[in-house]
A and B are shown apart, each in its own frame.
Chain A
Amino acid sequence: MDCHDILIIGGGLAGLSAALKISSDLKVAVISKVHPLRSHSVAAQGGINAALGNNPDGKDDSWEKHTCDTIKGSDFLADQDAVEMMCKTAIPVLYELDGLGAPFSRFPDGSIAQRPFGGAGFPRTCYAADRTGMILLHTLFEQCIKKGIAFYNEWLVTNLIIHEGQCVGVVVYDIASGKTHSIKAKAVIFTTGGYGRVYLRSTNAFINLGSGIGMAYRAGIPLKDMEFVQFHPTSLFGKNILITEGARGEGGYLLNNKGRRFMEDYAPSSMELAPRDIIARAIQTEINKGNGIEDKYVHLDLRHLGRKKIEKRLPGIQEICIYFAGFDPVEKVIPIQPAQHYSMGGIDVDEFCASLVKGFFAAGECACVSVHGANRLGGNSLLDAVVFGKISGESASNFVEGGGGKIAGDNILFAEAKRWEQKINDLMRKDSGENVYDLLYQLKDIMSIKAGIFRIKADLTDALSQIALLREKFKKAFISGNCFRYCQEFVTISEFDSMLDIAEVIVFGALKREETRGSHYRLDFQKRDDTSWLKHTLVNWSEKGPKVSFKDVKIGKYKPVERKY
Chain B
Amino acid sequence: MDYHFKILRFDPLKDEKPYFQDFFSRPKEMDSTLEAIMEIRDKQDPSLSFRYSCREAVCGACAMVINGNITLACKTTVKSLNSHQIVVEPLPNLEIQKDLIVNMDPFYKTMESIDPFLQPNGPLPEKGFRIDEKQMDKIFQFVTCLWCGCCYAACPVVSRDERYIGPAALAKLYRFVKDPRDGRDSAFWTKINNPGGIWGCDTVFRCNEVCPKDVRPADGIIGLRKKLIVEKTKNLFKRKS
Contact = CB atoms under 8 A, between A and B. Distances in A.
A8 to B, nearest CB: 19
A95 interface: yes
Given A43-B54, A142-B116, A489 B47 contact: yes
Contact of A325 (B30, B54, B117): B30
Contact of A142 (B11, B118, B132): B118
A267 interface: no
A326 B58 contact: no
Interface string A102-113: 011111111110
B130 interface: yes
Among B104, B124, B140, the one with the most A-chain Cβ atoms within 10 Å of its Cβ is B140
B46 A103 contact: no
B46 A145 contact: no
Nearest to A107: B133
A109 B58 contact: no
A219 interface: no
Among A34, A112, A483, A488, the one with the most B-chain Cβ atoms within 10 Å of its Cβ is A488
Contact of A34 (B41, B51, B98, B181): B51
Contacts of A145: 112, 116-117
Interface string B108-131: 100010011110100010111111
Contact of B61 (A34, A481, A485): A34
B143 A437 contact: no
B60 interface: yes
Interface string A224-244: 000000000000001101100
Q: Which range holds the interface residue count of chain A?
A: 35 or more
A443 to B, nearest CB: 14
Interface string B127-169: 1111111001001100110110000000000000000000000
B184 to A, nearest CB: 11
Given A107-B133, A111-B130, A485-B98, A40 B54 contact: yes
Given A326-B30, A437-B43, A486 B97 contact: yes
Contacts of A176: 97
A39 B54 CA distance: 8
Given A111-B128, A205-B59, A38 B179 contact: no
Contact of B11 (A95, A100, A111, A485): A485
A145 B59 CA distance: 18
B56 interface: yes
Given A142-B118, A205-B59, A238 B131 contact: no
B146 A37 contact: yes
A95 B126 contact: yes
Contacts of A108: 133
B55 A206 contact: yes
Contacts of A326: 30, 77
A35 interface: yes
A101 B53 contact: no
B130 A110 contact: yes
A34 B120 CA distance: 30
A140 to B, nearest CB: 10
Contacts of A479: 46
Contacts of B101: 486
A142 B117 contact: yes
Contact of B54 (A35, A94, A109, A206): A206
Given A42-B58, A99-B129, A206-B55, A488 B49 contact: yes
A38 B60 contact: yes
Contacts of A438: 42
Interface stretch (A116-124, A316-324, A456-464, A516-524): A316-324
B56 A103 contact: no
Contacts of B219: none
A487 B41 CA distance: 11
A131 interface: yes
Contacts of A104: 136
Interface string A441-484: 00000000000000000000000000000000000000111110
B13 interface: yes
A180 interface: no
Nearest to A147: B117
A172 to B, nearest CB: 18
B117 to A, nearest CB: 4
Contacts of A42: 54, 58-59, 146
B131 A435 contact: no
The 6 A-B pairs of least Cβ separation, nearest first, read: A481-B47, A101-B118, A110-B130, A437-B42, A99-B124, A486-B49
Interface of A: 34-35, 37-40, 42-43, 52, 94-96, 98-101, 103-112, 128-129, 131, 133-135, 138-139, 142-143, 145-146, 176, 205-207, 238-239, 241-242, 316, 319-320, 323-326, 435-438, 479-483, 485-489
30 contacts: A37-B60, A37-B146, A42-B146, A52-B128, A98-B128, A99-B129, A101-B179, A101-B182, A103-B136, A105-B133, A106-B132, A128-B140, A129-B140, A131-B144, A134-B146, A139-B118, A146-B117, A205-B59, A206-B55, A323-B77, A324-B32, A326-B30, A435-B42, A437-B46, A482-B47, A483-B11, A485-B13, A486-B101, A487-B47, A489-B46
Given A323-B75, A326-B77, A437-B43, 14 more contacts: A42-B146, A95-B128, A99-B181, A100-B117, A101-B117, A101-B179, A110-B129, A128-B140, A206-B53, A206-B54, A324-B77, A437-B46, A485-B49, A486-B99
